[in-house]
């Protein structure tokens, strides 16, 4: 039997918050031998990659912007699944909450507010020079980074099995060593919200005068 590189599984250090995940781990331990678990993990990875690539191509190539947004949501779901495979369920939850819940709704508002659905500017295909340049740029990036990733021996080394970091540890770090970035990001969010409201309300006042 050829040796599969053992796929990262959520370790035994599961925090108390995620009893359900713990239960699923135990059940899967009971149900499948390690090789079967590895095969299941590769299958799940393939499904998530299919979600990401399919959703991404829809988001980029769809002529209708609402459809593009739906493709983007599918991509977000695929990335959330990848976070689950990486034994970080909190990040997967945040991905669903922030990206799928908030940002895609913002993008939907943007699409609807600027009246740019199937009859707008995006209804026509980009010109040949533009599409060609886009493909050249993407192929350039892929040609640079693809071999770097594929040929790197450090990456090919058998990985450490990730253990799930307890949520309390993340919070401790956030309030001890990383307290300045933590506070800064709240300021950035506040300024962005205030600036957004200011920008969007300006003309309305002027129109009433």
Partner 1 sequence: MIISPLTLFMLAALALMVIGLVGLISRRTLVGMLISVEMLLNGAGLSVVAAAKLTPASDAVGQLATLFIMGLAAAEATLVLAMMVVVYRRFDTVATEALATIKDAQS
Q: How far is CA 165 from CA 23, 68, 79, 136, 169, in A?
A: 17, 35, 19, 41, 7
Report 98-157 residues binding partner 1 (CB under 8 A): 98-99, 102-103, 106-107, 109-111, 113-116, 120-122, 126, 130-131, 133-135, 137-138, 141-142, 145-146, 149-150, 152, 155-157
Report 23-82 residues binding partner 1 (CB under 8 A): 45, 48-49, 52-53, 56-57, 59-60, 65, 68-69, 72, 75-76, 79, 82
Closest distance of CB 137 from partner 1, Å: 6
Closest distance of CB 81 from partner 1, Å: 11
Asked whether position 21 contacts partner 1 by CB under 8 A, the answer is no
Size of the site for partner 1 (CB under 8 A): 89
Q: Given the complex with partner 1, which of 30 and 129 has the nearer CB atom?
A: 129
Cα–Cα dist 13/167, whole Å: 12
Cα–Cα dist 187/175, whole Å: 16
4 neighbors 82 (Cβ within 8 angstroms): no
Q: Given the complex with partner 1, which of 30 and 199 has the nearer CB atom?
A: 199
Q: Given the complex with partner 1, which of 4 and 29 has the nearer CB atom?
A: 4
Q: How far is CA 191 from CA 135, 157, 184, 185, in A?
A: 36, 44, 10, 10
Out of 160, 180, 205, 208, name the contact with partner 1 by CB under 8 A.
Answer: 160
First-to-last CA distance in the chain? 80
CB under 8 A: which stretch of 19-27, 29-37, 87-95 binds partner 1? 87-95
Question: Which residue, 101, 91, 90, 95, is CA-closest to 18?
Answer: 90
Q: How many CB atoms lie within 10 A of CB 66?
A: 15
Q: Given the complex with partner 1, which of 28 and 90 has the nearer CB atom?
A: 90
Closest distance of CB 179 from partner 1, Å: 11
Cα–Cα dist 120/65, whole Å: 9
């Amino acid at each position: 039997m050829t040796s599969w590189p053992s796929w990262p599984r959520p370790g035994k250090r599961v925090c108390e918050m995620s009893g359900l995940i713990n239960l699923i781990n135990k059940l899967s331990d009971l149900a499948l031998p390690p090789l079967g678990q590895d095969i299941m993990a590769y299958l799940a990875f393939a499904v998530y990659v299919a979600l990401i690539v399919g959703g991404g191509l829809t988001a980029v190539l769809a002529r209708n912007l609402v459809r593009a947004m739906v493709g983007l949501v599918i991509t977000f779901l695929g990335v959330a699944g990848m976070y689950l495979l990486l034994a970080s369920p909190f990040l997967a939850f945040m991905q669903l909450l922030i990206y799928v819940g908030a940002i895609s709704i913002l993008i939907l508002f943007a699409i609807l507010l600027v009246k740019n659905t199937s009859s707008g500017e995006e209804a026509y295909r980009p010109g040949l020079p533009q599409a060609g340049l886009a493909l050249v740029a993407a192929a350039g990036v892929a040609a640079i980074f693809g071999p770097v990733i594929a040929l790197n021996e450090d990456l090919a080394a058998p990985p450490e099995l990730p253990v799930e970091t307890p949520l309390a540890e993340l919070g401790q770090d956030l309030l001890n060593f990383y307290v300045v970035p933590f506070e800064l990001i709240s300021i950035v969010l506040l300024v962005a919200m205030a600036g957004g409201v200011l920008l969007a309300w300006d003309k309305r006042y002027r129109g009433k005068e």
